[in-house]
Structure 1
Amino acid sequence: MKAFKIALLAGTLVMATGFAPDWTITVAKTDAGHLIGNPDATTKVAEYISYTCSHCADFARSGDPALKIGYVRTGKVSVEIRHLLRDPIDLTAAMLTHCGAADKFALNHAAIMLSQDKWLPVAASSTQAQRNRWSNPDRAAARRAIAADLDFYQLMEGRGYRTTDIDRCLADSAMETKLVQASRDDTVRLGLRGTPSFTINGKLLDNVHNWPALQQAIDAQLVARPADKP
């Protein structure tokens, strides 16, 4: 019903103004990810990413903008970003990107991913004392320690969040459970072996881990369905 209302609103906008909507600003929460674009797009891309993966950061720089501007904006393609969690840092970052309303996600995601070259070396050179804090059985306390040591608090405050907002999101045990379970389920269901990985309409793309290869797969899908309309 929600997807129908969004599509109906977009259609009304086109008829009233003569201009097609920019679908890159339409963001909706899914079970454990975020869908960007037309919910009724006939070509549905899913990204499976890890915030501690350098290749994912490369894709965020080169692939995400091209995908959104060239394909998602038109309404023919949507993209869902999902999380393949490799470690507690990944989970901490993912929980922060989910902090707040759905329309905050895209820039939260970009802020953390595009600053990876600053915080990942800090994580790699962490002290034993830091790693002990990150292993605290109180998982919310552990995530607060990770966020403090890697300057995630400063990053999110720059996005307009208060410290209390950040702490609340890091303590969201329901979100933790949802993200961890979805990561496990997606890995098993699709046989994911690395990041970034991609699906189109639910089918895993073999040996596709960068923007040129993904663009080729999307173009092939669009050519195969020339009658489809956004």
Structure 2
Amino acid sequence: MIRLIFALLLLPLLAGAAPAPRDWSKAVTRSADGAYVIGNPAARVKLVEYLSYTCPHCARYAQASTPTLRDTFIRSGSTRVELRHATRDRLDLAATVIARCTGPAGFAATSERIFATQEDWYERGTRFEQPNAARMALYPQGAKLRALAYGAGLAEIGKARGLSDAALTACFDDTAALLQIARMSDASWKAIAAASAPQPGGTPTFVVNGKAYATLDWAGLEKILRAAGAR
């Protein structure tokens, strides 16, 4: 009898011990062509973002979208985002290498930090690049980008995410990775042009469940995502 009473008392406690829902914002993979994919692979809403780290519109979008897109839509499993680089200049490429150097586990947070501090490192990088352009022109591509990343303060962002000087050097010297970024960027700009025609395209450009949208801010995109099933 005592055992039966104890079991009956325990049942409500066991029933309330349901496992916590999975946080899909921690699920990050890299596609075969190098794009980073964040969220539930089976998500109802599939968002593609073409981004540039030196694009001020992208920085404003990142700041406005993160609280809802990452912490609600992606976290819940209703939405998946695929991030594709559309590099615009050398500083953008240097920032791209830093973000990707942190790998799947650190990519999203590093990207957010790069966008959050864009004004600072972009100004520093521009000031550094102008007087040092002739000297850096003599460097190999990887060394040139690495010097620019250090001069702009981008390397500091990578180090704050746990990257050592040796790790940063290895990422900038990885010619295969640089070629992959170049190929992705070329494909991205072609996709952006197609989405924006007949107007010239820019970043950020979005694709939601196969349909492209250009010149959208977060408020406009949020409505589209919610209509598609983002929760």
TM interval, short-chain normalised: 0.7 to 0.9
Q: TM-score, normalised to structure 2's length?
A: 0.83
Matches within 5 A, 1:32-181: 32-126=34-128, 128-136=130-138, 138-181=140-183
Contact 2:54 2:118 in 1 (8 A): yes
Contact 1:133 1:142 in 2 (8 A): no
In 2, Cα distance between equivalents of 1:102 and 1:74: 19
> Structure 1 residue 170: deviation in Å?
0.9
> Structure 1 residue 200: deviation in Å?
0.7
CA pair 40-147 structure 1, distance change in 2 beyond 3 A = same
> Structure 1 residue 186: deviation in Å?
2.1
Give the alignment's Cα RMSD to 1 decimal: 2.0
In 1, Cα distance between equivalents of 2:136 and 2:65: 32
- Structure 2 unaligned residues grouped into runs of 5+: 1-16, 196-200
Instruction: Note the alpha carbon deviations across 1:66-103, whole angstroms, 9 max, x for none.
Output: 21122111111111111111011111111111114311
Of 207, 216, 226, 2:223 maps to 216
- Structure 1 unaligned residues grouped into runs of 5+: 1-15, 224-229
Aligned to 2:30: 29
Structure possessing the higher radius of gyration over alpha carbons = 2
In 2, Cα distance between equivalents of 1:206 and 1:129: 36
Q: TM-score, normalised to structure 1's length?
A: 0.83
In 1, Cα distance between equivalents of 2:229 and 2:91: 37
In 2, Cα distance between equivalents of 1:105 and 1:163: 18
Q: Which moved more, 1:196-205 or 1:168-177?
A: 196-205
Instruction: Note the alpha carbon deviations across 1:134-182, whole angstroms, 9 max, x for none.
Output: 5445101101110111012222112111100011111111111111111
Aligned residues with identical type, % of pairs: 30
CA pair 134-219 structure 1, distance change in 2 beyond 3 A = farther
What SS class does the counterpart of residue 47 from structure 1 fall into? strand
In 2, Cα distance between equivalents of 1:61 and 1:133: 36
AA of the residue aligned to 2:25: T
Instruction: Note the alpha carbon deviations across 1:104-137, whole angstroms, 9 max, x for none.
Output: 1111212222111211112333453322345445
CA pair 83-136 structure 1, distance change in 2 beyond 3 A = farther
Aligned to 1:198: 206
Alignment size in residue pairs? 208
AA of the residue aligned to 1:150: A
In 2, Cα distance between equivalents of 1:127 and 1:19: 49
